[in-house]
Amino acid sequence: MYGNLHTEDFNLKKFMGKWYVISHIPNFIEKGGINSFDEYTLNEDSTISVFYQTIKDGKSKTIKQLASVDDYKDPTKWTIKFVKPWIPFIKAPYKIAYIDYRHQNVAVISNNYAWVMSRSKTINQEYYNKILNILETSYGFNKNEFVKIIQQ
């Protein structure tokens, strides 16, 4: 499926697990990182623990976040807040904009940032280009601003 993600096609439980960051529009935390990934865990209280890890300057950097689904009629829209030691009172919108379960690729957007992720460390170039085109045409991102992540 291409274009805007239809909420009925999204399966929250299936989304859980590890996603490797293939490319992104980096924020100051992610800029220059390699081997980056997110790991999502559905908690008993229906919140979602989000664990981000990257390697910067030879050191592992992690961020823990807690997400909640804004409306279970549309489980692709979340609110994320940072867990200590980061700034716990800051919240950000989070949207799963695209998912392809067959090829295990996903695009996620939050404010002015976007990520292309995959269950594997690499992605087929054709699908990668399609995801970037969707992010550009449907969500207004400039595909030339995406930075590929080195995954070793």
Q: How confident is the model at residue 27 (pLDDT cuts 50, 70, 90)?
A: confident
pLDDT of 33: 95
pLDDT of 112: 87
| Beta strands per DSSP E along 43-145 | 48-56, 59-71, 74-82, 91-100, 105-110, 113-118
Mean pLDDT of 87-106: 84
Q: What is the pLDDT of residues 86-95, one digit of tens each?
A: 676 788 899 9
Does this model's pTM top 0.75? My answer is yes
For the chain, domain boundaries = 7-148
- pLDDT > 60? residue 31: yes
According to CATH, the topology of domain 7-148 is Lipocalin (2.40.128)
- pLDDT > 50? residue 72: yes
Q: What is the mean pLDDT of the chain?
A: 89
3-state SS assignment for residue 135: helix
